[in-house]
Amino acid sequence: MDPSIPESVSPPSNVLLVHRSSISADACQTLCQHENGSQTAELSVTFSSDALENSPHGNANPAKIGAISVGDVLRGVTAERSTGGAHVGPDFTGDIVFDAITDPTDLSTIGVSVSRFCEQWGSDYQLTVCFQSLDALLNHAPPKTVFQFVHVLTNRLSSVDALAHFHLDPSAHDDRIVSTFGSIFDEVVVDDSAHSDVPQATDEDIAALLGEWDDPTEWPTIELTVGQEATDDDVARVLEK
């Protein structure tokens, strides 16, 4: 795992931000900054009910601010009741957009929600995404399932030239897990708080773990022609497998 410095990362990139979860990482805000704030849309994905307030806001005046709160039972149930139990997604008519997902194990709905923000904002704005955190996902789903989810989601974000970073606490997981997740990101940024926790798993360790997970009947893929962009239906289809 060869770490980069956040200042060297530019879009499009998917970044694994490695740091102790008990400590805020300064790199988070750096990875959300762009020179032209008026043409930037910022999206945060968090597992708390106050996602909008905790958005990193790397740009002083982003044109659009979005938040997806996962596991937000109160807001999620309220939204589902108003739509007869269906998750229909947020209203994108305003400059501040919020979505709430009740079930943190429903990776398909989480992926589709992020994909909708890509569809709405990806063409007109430089999209930055802060995903907090992979630790929460790994608490609710097996590593292989989360790896497949991240594989699909990072492809979707790349399709709209987003700059996205995903938080991960290396002290909470096996070295092979952390290194294997790092292998699918464009860049890995390690905070000072986690330098002693950077995993020492080898390429052979990563290959062995991927071999254990390799099942062609289950591995999610999105078949696209050149220049074609993944749709919400594509994301939902592969994540529901």
Cβ atoms within 10 Å, residue 126:
23
Whether residue 153 is predicted with pLDDT greater than 90 in this model: the reply is yes
Report d(CA 151, CA 155) in Å as an integer.
6
Domain 6-239 has CATH 2.50.20: no
Reply yes or no on whether the pLDDT at 126 is more than 60. yes
- Of 34 and 107, the structure prediction assigns the larger pLDDT to 107
pLDDT over threshold 90, residue 75: no
What share of the chain in percent tops pLDDT 90? Answer: 36
Q: What is the pTM of this model?
A: 0.81
Quote the strand ranges of the chain, DSSP E: 13-18, 40-46, 64-70, 96-101, 126-132, 163-168, 187-190
Domain segments of the chain: what residues? 6-239
Q: Taking the mean position of all CA atoms in its chain, how far away is CA 195? A: 22
Quickly tell me which residue has 């910022």 as its tokens: 42
Which residue's entry shows tokens 């490695």?
Answer: 18
User: What was the pLDDT predicted at 224?
Assistant: 39
pLDDT value for 90? 87
81 pLDDT band (50/70/90 cuts)? very low
The per-residue pLDDT for range 8-18, each reduced to its tens digit, is 888 889 999 98
How many whole angstroms separate alpha carbon 121 and alpha carbon 65?
10
**Residue in the structure block whose two tokens are 């149930």:** 77
